[in-house]
Amino acid sequence: MNNADLTIYDTTLRDGAQREGISLAVSDKLRIAEQLDALGIAFVECGWPGSNPKDAELFQRARNMDWHRTTLVAFGATRRAGLAPEDDPNLAALIDSRARACTIFGKTSLTHVQQVLRTTPDENLVMIEDSVRYLAANGRRVIYDAEHFFDGAREDLAYAIATLEAAVRGGAEAVVLCDTNGGTLPWEVEERVRLVRAELATPIGIHAHDDGGLAVANSLAAVRGGATHVQGTINGYGERCGNANLTTLIPDLEIKLGRRCIRPGTLVDLGRVARFVAEIANLAFDEHAPYFGRSAFAHKGGVHVAAVRRAPHSYEHIEPERVGNRTRFIVSELSGRANVEAFAEEHGLATADVLATVKAREHEGYAFESAEAAVALMMRRSEPAYAPPFELVDYKVMLGNGYADAAVKVRVAGNLVHTAAEGNGPVSALDAALRKALAAVYPEIEAIHLEDYKVRIIDGRDGTNAVTRVLVDHGFRKTSARWTTVGASPSIVEASLVALVDGIEHGLWLARGPRKESDEGHDRLATG
């Protein structure tokens, strides 16, 4: 059961999937639906079974799965003009899906009625009413989406409300006001919702698009106006500019307005679900997203860092822990001494004066705000007692037709080790040669995995002489631990080698090094 104060209706799998560049398989949709069910989302709209075989298959497979908190919804349209409901193939597909709830949309705007449907205003009202009644008579819960409601209300308010009344007469359990073109402003949304709320006893919903960048604001305005049913998508995915972003909207509603939307205790999981959906959609998660982005509570300016260390609320609108996030301090060329002290404290390291080095290296092309492990290495290397696990003395790379050979000289455990290895490129060969040289002394290197490799040309106007920045992500196999190091040089091989060596050194320190100040700080650094 879902006894939330507001009803959240997720349409990621239907409206969200209409975003350009997204194509979800049936198995993808079901995996996402399971995550939404665990959050306690009241309704999950899974697709339009009358439009394609994929959505029909989804509803068939969903029947054999357990759904604990959510109701799966099939989406469709009102019947066609001139057809009886029982003869309409779209409505038949909704019944055949065996979904417990159906959402159908109908026309609110007279322009759409007359120019798109090419029917009469009176016939449109009948189409809405008897389509809803037909589905309800067949045992379905029915939600009615009033498409282009706000545009239609500007054209003819009385007719727009008449379409809602037709849906209510048919048996709709909620009528949803859709800002389909996404161009309405928040104060108009709130005013219209209040007006409709005064006319109808049936629950009112909001379905906002983001063409004006206002979908979340419009949804909040609708709730202030009396809406109790809120539609949107995870990460704001959707056609054109997207839909109301539930990943932002839900914490706004719960934290700022005090309206419960999802299962108690799951707000901290919403960010993980947002990343999961992004991964399934094969899209990068926006790390600057409100509440859940890695940068949502990251502080870079020295004045900000100093203030947050004294009073976190001075530059943080909520406690990050409420949404499963954390405060981060960034060290970069814009930093002051407070950044360095805060970074060291955050990660359980001894404070070291590395600011001048950071600024000088960023001038050379490094970027440390994306490579926290590299800053941590600087601090450790400045400690008098720190002994590096190994030292790269020399290296050589030879390229052939489709292969690369690398030779390295490494001082490790008091011995000079000379090894060579082959790879599918110079970085691959150097990585293999380093691992080969270190494996006997550090068998734990087998667990350190190179996860990502990013290259950026700093100034393309310099052509082949441009400085290249390389970011390398490492992680421990079978864990979520991950860390990033950076190198910069006019030679891509040299830049890669700096990042590679630092990444391995940091990983060995995490795997074997002493835990002096704070194990928790080290763990955060490994996963950050």
Whether pLDDT at 518 is above 50: no
Per residue in 142-161, pLDDT (tens digit) is 999 999 999 999 999 999 99
Whether pLDDT at 50 is above 80: no
Whether pLDDT at 351 is above 80: no
Alpha-helical regions (H) of 281-418? 302-310, 337-346, 355-364, 372-381
Is there a domain that residue 307 lies in? no
528 vs 523: CA distance, rounded Å: 8
Domain boundary among 280, 305, 320: 280
273 and 399 in a single domain? The answer is: no
Residue 347's pLDDT band (cuts 50, 70, 90): low
Is there a domain that residue 349 lies in? no
80 and 207 in a single domain? The answer is: yes
Residue 513's pLDDT band (cuts 50, 70, 90): low
- Measure CA 286 to chain center: 6
Whether pLDDT at 520 is above 60: no
210 and 70 in a single domain? The answer is: yes
Tokens in use for 148?
């282009």
Of 345 and 154, the structure prediction assigns the larger pLDDT to 154
- pLDDT for position 143: 98
Of 528 and 43, the structure prediction assigns the larger pLDDT to 43
Per residue in 255-268, pLDDT (tens digit) is 999 999 999 999 99
344 vs 527: CA distance, rounded Å: 16
Whether pLDDT at 424 is above 80: yes
- pLDDT for position 401: 77
54 vs 71: CA distance, rounded Å: 19
Is there a domain that residue 286 lies in? no
Q: What is the CATH number of the domain that holds 78?
A: 3.20.20.70
Quote the strand ranges of 349-495, DSSP E.
391-399, 404-412, 415-423, 448-457, 468-476, 482-489
Of 510 and 57, the structure prediction assigns the larger pLDDT to 57
Domain count, the chain: 2
Per residue in 359-394, pLDDT (tens digit) is 677 666 776 666 677 777 777 777 777 888 899 999
- pLDDT for position 517: 33
Is there a domain that residue 492 lies in? yes
- pLDDT for position 522: 40
Domain boundary among 245, 280, 315: 280
Tokens in use for 275?
């990343």
Domain boundary among 263, 280, 297: 280
397 and 273 in a single domain? The answer is: no
* DSSP-derived secondary structure letter, 243: B
273 and 411 in a single domain? The answer is: no
Q: Which of 143-157, 182-196, 299-313, 420-434 has the lowest mean pLDDT?
A: 299-313
Is there a domain that residue 466 lies in? yes
215 vs 209: CA distance, rounded Å: 5
261 and 403 in a single domain? The answer is: no
- pLDDT for position 452: 87
Strand 298-299, strand 71-77: pairing: unpaired
Is there a domain that residue 275 lies in? yes
Is there a domain that residue 468 lies in? yes
275 and 145 in a single domain? The answer is: yes
Is there a domain that residue 261 lies in? yes
Of 252 and 378, the structure prediction assigns the larger pLDDT to 252
Residue span of the structural domain in which 268 resides: 7-280
187 and 67 in a single domain? The answer is: yes
Helices 157-170 + 121-137 axis angle, to 10: 20
274 and 400 in a single domain? The answer is: no
Q: What is the CATH number of the domain that holds 418?
A: 3.30.160.270
Of 527 and 172, the structure prediction assigns the larger pLDDT to 172
- pLDDT for position 510: 82
Stretch 110-136: mean pLDDT: 94
